[in-house]
Chains A and B, each alone.
Chain A
Amino acid sequence: MKKKWCIDIFMSLFLILAMLYMHLGEYIHEWVGVLLFLLFFIHHVLNKYWFKTVLSKKQSMKLRIRSFINCLLCLLLILTLISGVGMSYYLFPFMNIPTLTSLFREIHLACGYWIFVLSAIHLGLHLDIFVRRVKNKVNDKRVKGTLIVLTGCICLYGMYLFIKNRICLYMFLIHKFVYFDYRQTLLSIFSEYTLIFISIAIVTYFVVRKIEIKKEKSQ
């Protein structure tokens, strides 16, 4: 179980690093990408049961949404992998297709940002295990209150950063080049993307929770 958590944390870390293409430089970006795909692969092997649930017909709404997002993620990952390798200069120069660079660049950009957002949603759909654990351990009302307020603050700030960093514009290719401020430090941009990632996950968790509570009431 601990191994799984480790892989998940590393995967999130590498995913966020992969988003910082410009700040890390192309050479490191290619390595981060390769390691990320290895981690994705291990993640899939460790969660083999997922493939079975996709095929089963009896699924709750939540499971269906999960499966849909997982399938989408898989598809996007393959597209990102192909476009990335097709543009690679350092690690896979023999696979580089120069005539398709422009097309690959746009696919890689849009898919990359969709993966970032959908991975955060994917995390949000599995966040209930984590939240349950915290709830069981925290009994003090004051600590609980602070945690709730903090979560709210993180969400709001994350949403602001989501807009500030123009994530949506890249997802839909309205902007075809990512804006990079070369004066911004790596730590600063890393923390911004981390916060965006966490807040999307938290918002997803709360939205799903709300729907579930509504359903329970109506039943």
Chain B
Amino acid sequence: MKKKVLIVLLSMIFIISGCTQTETPQNHGDEQGDQPTEIIADANILIAYFTWADNTVVVNPESVDVDASSSASVLTPGNAGLMARWIQEEVGGDLFSIQTVNQYSSDYDECLDQASREKASRDRPALIDTVENFEEYDVIYLGFPNWWYTCPMAIFSFVESYDFNNKTVIPFVTHGTGGLSSTIRDLTNALPSVRVLDPIGIEREDVDSSEDKVKSWALNSLK
């Protein structure tokens, strides 16, 4: 009898913990994010993004079926590239496309395989270009797709190439059914003591119709 009571009690605890803990408020990154937000006026803004389209070669663009969700993002400017342009239209700043020396396959599955291998071996793919006068920027919008539940490894190459001290990072992510997964968690871990603001995540298929959403988010992030 005692056992049964115990089981019942345990399940009650489970329910309660399930109810309460799922609703814990968001907390991204460090404590600084919890401070009252100040307006970042006259900030120098960099919009850096990694997009599949800029890191692959499509031999015959006309052969790409734009209606297929996995194919549309291989055509320039790519999903993250498109979002980066909207952000620029809204808040200004300079665009920078993060590109790797070794390109990725334009085939969805093959690209995913590549991404998974890089993730497992914690690769830091070599990047082609560097941002000039990086130290002059205050705010960096950082965009990328969710690859295999985390950021593409090139994002970590990028983040580790510069000194992010005293900078504010605002991530924007395109994703499939996995949502943001562990992209933001891994990014904040790679940027300890850097202020990382609330990200925006847009589902791949909804990117085309999300201009207003992205723009208003970009503006609000600076307030």
Contacts and interface: CB of A to CB of B under 8 A. Distances in A.
A98 B117 contact: yes
Interface stretch (B108-116, B125-133, B210-218): B108-116
B105 to A, nearest CB: 11
A188 B18 contact: yes
Interface in B29-46: none
Contacts, number: 90
A137 B5 CA distance: 12
A172 interface: no
Nearest to A177: B178
Query: How extensive is the interface on chain B, given as a class?
Result: 20 to 34
Interface stretch (B7-15, B96-104, B156-164): B7-15
A138 B14 CA distance: 23
B11 A184 contact: no
Contacts of B26: 183
Interface stretch (A55-63, A70-78, A121-129, A190-198): A190-198
Contacts of B18: 157, 161, 188, 191-192, 195
- By secondary structure, the A interface counts as helix
Given A180-B181, A183-B26, A191-B14, A102 B21 contact: no
Given A177-B149, A182-B182, A195-B14, 16 more contacts: A22-B182, A102-B109, A137-B4, A146-B8, A161-B18, A169-B177, A176-B176, A176-B177, A177-B181, A180-B181, A188-B18, A191-B15, A191-B17, A191-B18, A192-B22, A195-B15
Interface of B: 1, 4, 8, 11-12, 14-15, 17-18, 20-22, 24, 26-27, 109-110, 112-113, 116-117, 120-121, 149, 176-182, 184-185
27 contacts: A26-B120, A87-B116, A89-B120, A98-B113, A98-B117, A99-B113, A101-B112, A101-B113, A102-B109, A102-B112, A147-B4, A150-B12, A154-B15, A157-B18, A176-B176, A177-B149, A177-B181, A178-B178, A181-B22, A181-B179, A182-B181, A183-B26, A185-B24, A191-B14, A191-B18, A195-B11, A195-B14
